[in-house]
Amino acid sequence: MLEGVDRLIDLVGTRAAGLTGASETQVAESTSRCDADALAQTDGHFAAVGRDGKTVRLARTIGIPLRYFVAKMYHGPFLVVSDRMDQIFAWCQEQRIAWQFEPAYTRMVPAHYIVELDQVGCPDPAPRYRRFFDPPVGQGSTDLHDAGAAYIAAALGALKRWIAAVPDNEPIAVAFSGGIDSTATLILARHACAELGRDPNSVKAFSLDFGGGEDAAQAGRAAHELGLASSWERIDAAPDSCDLEAAIRLIEDYQPLDVECAATALCLLRGIRQRYRDLKFLIDGDGGDENLKSYPLEDSDLTLSSVLRNPLLYQEGWGVDAIKHSLAYSGGLSRSYVRTYAPAAALGFQAFSPFTVRSVIAAAVAIPFERVLDGHAERLETLKRDVVCAGIKAVTGIEMPANPKRRFQDGATAVPRARVSKASCRRTFSRIWQERLRDAETLDRRSGNEVSEASPR
């Protein structure tokens, strides 16, 4: 392996959103040192890459994806880091080694871990994982008013820290369905602005409607009930503008619910962008369902026991040591948050959800769910409503309207759509990459043994 060649290709750099407890530079330095304790003292979101000799370390939180790929050039490994598969592939094309690329060979850094990789040649050593987020579980109050107050106070704090970094004259958009999480987000964003001495009316709520959808109707009712009708706008879109293939290309994934959600989000964000060309800042309520386990168990292979005995299951999946953990995609919201991040980034928005921040997740996992539910899975249907509404009342004094849970992609349309299958999404994903890789085979190829005087940029 040639010495003196920089074998770390970082295509994105350190990024952060609502970060407290350290600067971006300090986060990168802590990642380089594998200082999990220092990262644990931060809050908000970050993604960082650092090097310590031949060891490269990567770390991220839920809100900012990070992905890597090991390429072979100049008699040794190059670690290429980005937030996207296609960006890594483009770099490989520039270096004439696209023939080495395979989407399944890329790896997503799992949220809340430092990943260590030694660049020592072939074969590539397995990555090592070290947690930097380990919140106490089930130590909070069984009183849902107290639990709600702690949860919502944490969400308000996260929003205040993020909004404080937004320039004073910039408006803030809220993706608003009128459901529990988006309504809480709208109320808290306005409350945060007031506490920061900003104009709460700089916060604007937007709802998507494909024509007679229930979300727009309930969002309008909720806005009127809260006295915020003048701060709410409906975005109308044609049903056929919901492009699933475009969503698959964008999120680089094939989980059907995430594909549908991303396709719907693209329609909403395009509509906002057409009206407001310079609007940059976007808030949503993603992560609220995961925090309060608001998913029907009959829609999955999960049992109440599996959910309760794996407190961060919905946020992180089964864990990095589990059979079901996907190296290429991570798990839970650590994987699926790309459905929010990628559409926002593609259309020029900086997106943030207070419910994905570690302090808020910690407030949620502190709830003693096992005692609260007492073995009754059906209690999950109303638990989030009770916790969030009680918390909003305690923190802001507002009686929040509580509308039924509905998936974003379902609430935007009046006509129920057939559920897209995972097999169909995966076939589309495979076809997209087969076409790209077939085209790459026609390009000039560089051998991994070829030595050049100029190292790659």
3-state secondary structure the chain: CCCCCCCEEECCCCEEEEEECCCHHHHHHHHHHCCHHHHHCCEEEEEEEEEECCEEEEEECCCCCCEEEEEEECCEEEEEEECCHHHHHHHHHHCCCHHHCCHHHCEECCCCEEEEEECCCCCCCCCEEEECCCCCCCCCCCCHHHHHHHHHHHHHHHHHHHHHCCCCCCCEEEECCCCHHHHHHHHHHHHHHHHCCCCHHHEEEEEEECCCCHHHHHHHHHHHHCCCHHHEEEEECCHHHCCHHHHHHHHCCCCHHHHHHHHHHHHHHHHHHHHCCCCCEEECCCCHHHHCCCCCHHHCCCCHHHHHCCCCHHHHCCCCCCCCCECCCECHHHHHCHHHHHHHHHCCCEEECHHHCHHHHHHHHCCCHHHHHCCCHHHHHHHHHHHHHHHHHHHHCCCCCCCCCCCHHHHCCCCCCCCCCHHHHHHHHHHHHHHHHHHHCCCCCCCCCCCCCCCCC
pLDDT band (50, 70, 90) for residue 410 = low
pLDDT band (50, 70, 90) for residue 409 = low
Residue 383 lies in a domain: yes
β pairing state of 350-352 and 113-118? unpaired
Model confidence pLDDT, tens digit, residues 152-206: 999 999 999 999 999 998 999 999 999 999 999 999 999 999 999 999 999 999 9
Tell whether the model's pLDDT for residue 407 goes beyond 70.
no
Identify the CATH number of the domain in which residue 311 sits: 3.40.50.620
Phi-psi sector, 227: left (phi>0), alpha (psi -120 to 50), beta: left
Residue 77 lies in a domain: yes
Same domain, 127 and 175: no
Give pLDDT, residue 364.
98
As for how many domains the chain has, the answer is 2
Q: What is the mean pLDDT of residues 225-253?
A: 95
| Percent with pLDDT over 90 in the chain | 81
Tell whether the model's pLDDT for residue 415 goes beyond 60.
no
User: Distance of CA 66 to CAs 41, 145, 256, 329, Å?
Assistant: 21, 37, 21, 10
Same domain, 264 and 379: yes
Helical pair 244-251 and 256-275, crossing angle rounded to 10 deg: 100
Measure the CA–CA gap between 295 and 222, rounded to whole angstroms.
23
Give pLDDT, residue 417.
64
Give pLDDT, residue 414.
45
pTM for the full model?
A: 0.94
More confident: 66 or 73 = 66
Residue 49 lies in a domain: yes
Q: What is the mean pLDDT of residues 383-389?
A: 97
β pairing state of 8-10 and 76-82? parallel
163: its two tokens: 């909004």
Same domain, 53 and 197: no
Domain span holding position 261: 144-426
Give the lowest-confidence range in 116-130, 131-145, 173-187, 414-428.
414-428
Measure the CA–CA gap between 439 and 74, rounded to whole angstroms.
24
Same domain, 109 and 241: no
Residue 334 lies in a domain: yes
Same domain, 73 and 214: no
Q: What is the mean pLDDT of the chain?
A: 92
Q: Count the neighbouring beta carbons within 10 Å of the beta carbon of residue 6.
A: 11
Same domain, 179 and 118: no
Same domain, 199 and 300: yes
Same domain, 235 and 350: yes
* CB distance 223 to 205 below 8 Å: yes
Same domain, 254 and 403: yes
Same domain, 96 and 193: no
Give pLDDT, residue 413.
58
Same domain, 315 and 177: yes
Same domain, 129 and 154: no
Q: What is the mean pLDDT of residues 204-224?
A: 90
Model confidence pLDDT, tens digit, residues 279-295: 999 999 999 999 999 98
Residue 289 lies in a domain: yes
291: its two tokens: 């925090």
* CB distance 27 to 33 below 8 Å: no
Radius of gyration of the chain (CA): 22
Model confidence pLDDT, tens digit, residues 417-444: 667 899 999 999 999 999 999 988 887 7
239: its two tokens: 């049903």
Residue 1 lies in a domain: no
Residue 442 lies in a domain: no
Residue 300 lies in a domain: yes
pLDDT band (50, 70, 90) for residue 230 = very high
